[in-house]
Amino acid sequence: MRPLQTVVLPLLLALVFAAPAAADDPAPGEGAGTYAGSGRPAEEAPPADGGVTTDDKARGEDESTSVGTPALPDESTSLGEPSAPDESTSHGEWTAPEVPSAPDGTLLGDGALTDDKAAFGALAPMRGWAAPTKGGWISASYGIRGTHWVRGYHTGVDIAVPTGTPVRSVGPGQVIEARRDPSYGLYVKVRMNDGHYVLYGHLSRLRVGLWARVGGGQLIAYSGATGNVTGPHLHLEVRTQRGFGSDINPVTYLAKHRVSL
């Protein structure tokens, strides 16, 4: 028995003392915080793909999308789109312009008018005189009394015609006003060659512009029911001066030019 003990006992002692040493010796490629094969910390060790770290890759990808790339326009705003037109003064075929005013805001007087052919092109034929509409009948005569008129009486004549009836200039002249008014609605005022003023009120559309030269019988607008009205008709008013309050009887005025209403 002694020879067997002599062999086995040393082997057991060798195994007992060798086991802790093996446990303390980390396996190759592992180890807490060290790079395999060197004593450098793992975070400082060179990467295996040629020197580019994960942080460098992320930084490069971020810069590739941010450097040198122009910002996209904000699609919430439209660039270069024209403004919609102002429909409050649009009348289909022509937009009524504002009458020019002096620096103090007052309307320019007759001194602003001109007969210069170069400014207005070829003048409209200075045909004679004509009725403002074909057909229709006088539904309200000049001078009749009523509380719904500002002056207490009717300052013109009303010719009952359907909306859209052609309205023609009663004689030769020049357009000096073309606009909207709470009472007259859409209207045109023409300074006649004889110095009188003729106003066409409650129109639906205009066919002439401001300062245009017109001849007798020329189409200038279409009748309607704009402004202070109870139905479609043409309000025809004749004045001796430009302003309100100088009205005369349109029937008498046109009769002198051999035109009857």
Q: How large is the average pLDDT for residues 9-35?
A: 52
The H or E element that residue 25 is part of is none
Helices and strands (H and E) in the chain: how many: 4, 10
Note the pTM of the prediction, 2 decimals: 0.55
Q: What percent of the chain has pLDDT over 90?
A: 48
The pLDDT, as a whole number, for residue 146 is 86
Higher pLDDT, 203 or 113: 203
Q: At residue 224, what is the residue type?
A: G
How far apart CA 124 and CA 115 sit, in angstroms, is 12
Higher pLDDT, 86 or 214: 214
Q: Report phi then psi at 60, rounded to 5.
A: -65, -40
- Contact status, residue 205 vs residue 187, Cβ threshold 8 Å: no
**Per-residue burial over 74-99, b = 16 or more CB atoms within 10 Å of its CB, e = otherwise:** eeeeeeeeeeeeeeeeebeeeebeee
Q: How large is the average pLDDT for residues 136-145?
A: 95
Q: For 37-82, what is each residue's pLDDT tens digit?
A: 444 444 444 454 545 455 554 454 554 444 444 444 444 433 333 3
The pLDDT, as a whole number, for residue 149 is 78
- Contact status, residue 148 vs residue 242, Cβ threshold 8 Å: no
The pLDDT, as a whole number, for residue 148 is 77
Q: 101: which DSSP letter? A: B
Higher pLDDT, 54 or 6: 6
pLDDT exceeds cutoff 50 at 257:
yes
pLDDT exceeds cutoff 50 at 94:
no
Class (C level, CATH) for 110-255 = mainly beta
Higher pLDDT, 3 or 252: 252
- Using DSSP's 3-state secondary structure scheme, residue 14 falls into helix
How far apart CA 122 and CA 11 sit, in angstroms, is 132
The length of the chain is 261
Strands 213-214 and 247-248: unpaired
pLDDT exceeds cutoff 90 at 103:
no
Q: What percent of the chain has pLDDT over 70?
A: 51
Strands 185-192 and 157-160: unpaired
Distance, C-alpha 144 to centroid of its chain: 45
The pLDDT, as a whole number, for residue 131 is 97
- Contact status, residue 248 vs residue 144, Cβ threshold 8 Å: no
pLDDT exceeds cutoff 80 at 250:
yes
How far apart CA 202 and CA 163 sit, in angstroms, is 10
How far apart CA 135 and CA 162 sit, in angstroms, is 10
Q: Which residue has the tokens 């349109």?
A: 250
In angstroms, what CA-CA distances link 29 with 36, 39, 73? 4, 12, 53
CATH 2.70.70.10 range(s) for the chain read: 110-255
* Region of residue 84 (phi > 0: left; psi between -120 and 50: alpha; otherwise: beta): beta
Mean pLDDT of the chain: 71
- Contact status, residue 203 vs residue 229, Cβ threshold 8 Å: no
Structure tokens at 30: 């592992």
Q: Which of 134, 128, 127 is nearest to 166 (CA)?
A: 134
pLDDT exceeds cutoff 50 at 181:
yes
The pLDDT, as a whole number, for residue 45 is 47
